[in-house]
Amino acid sequence: GNSVTQMEGPVTLSEEAFLTINCTYTATGYPSLFWYVQYPGEGLQLLLKATKADDKGSNKGFEATYRKETTSFHLEKGSVQVSDSAVYFCALIFRLRGYQKVTFGIGTKLQVIP
Amino acid sequence: GAVVSQHPSRVICKSGTSVKIECRSLDFQATTMFWYRQFPKQSLMLMATSNEGSKATYEQGVEKDKFLINHASLTLSTLTVTSAHPEDSSFYICSASWGGNQPQHFGDGTRLSIL
């Protein structure tokens, strides 16, 4: 079946450091890939998405490229800020018998220190 | 962007009470809504998927009679936790999508505490 493997955290970085959070997937068909962010005590917010191979999603300085050859969708940011501290979830959305299905990674907690 | 409103944000009640949580898509029609449960420091656990006008599809291990889901319209789904007990205390999150491979948009969650 479809699955998402996400690096376990927590990840602790200093402000302005480079961020990579790894995400790989297994899937049949043509899923869409997403990154969501969850701030403490809140629901999930869509951060970025990519709907087909080689698409690059980007938002708020974050980027991720849908790489079919390596089945990956790694999240990157060139210079993190304290306000980026949150939990990041990689997700795969696909259709099964006409209905939407979703698989989430375990979430990676990012802590940015001043 | 797409907005999903979830209400209430926090509920504290006595054991044995039934609690209803609402999930509304404010600016789009959601053909599918999802209900999740999240335990502290863990990922989301999908409880059920509800499609407008049809019965919800529950994930394995989720009690249908305990967690009643109604998706009465394209903008509203409700989750009722019947006769709640302390072990039902958790963070419940809904999401909505207009289907296909489109993203899910999440509510802000409901913190349920059963005393």
Among the partner-chain residues A30, A99, A105, the one whose CB lies closest to the CB of B43 is A105
| Choice between B75 and A30, residue whose per-residue pLDDT is larger | B75
Among the partner-chain residues A43, A93, A101, the one whose CB lies closest to the CB of B93 is A43
Please state, for a pLDDT cut of 90, what percent of chain A lies above it: 75
Model confidence over B42-85: pLDDT tens digits?
A: 788 899 998 877 889 999 999 999 999 998 888 999 999 999 99
Model confidence over A39-83: pLDDT tens digits?
A: 988 888 999 999 999 999 999 999 999 999 999 999 999 999 999
Model confidence at B99, pLDDT cuts 50, 70, 90, reads: confident
> A93 and B102: CB-CB below 8 Å?
yes
Among the partner-chain residues A41, A51, A109, the one whose CB lies closest to the CB of B101 is A51
Model confidence over A74-105: pLDDT tens digits?
A: 999 999 999 999 999 999 988 877 777 888 99
> A107 and B49: CB-CB below 8 Å?
no
Task: Judge residue A20's burial from the number of C-beta atoms within 10 Å of its C-beta, 0-12 exposed, 13-18 middle, 19 or more buried.
Answer: exposed
Torsion over CA of B77, B63, B55 and B82, rounded to 10 degrees?
-50
B54 touches chain A (CB under 8 A): no
* E strand map for A43-85: 44-50, 56-59, 62-65, 75-77
Question: How many CB atoms within 10 Å of residue B54?
Answer: 9
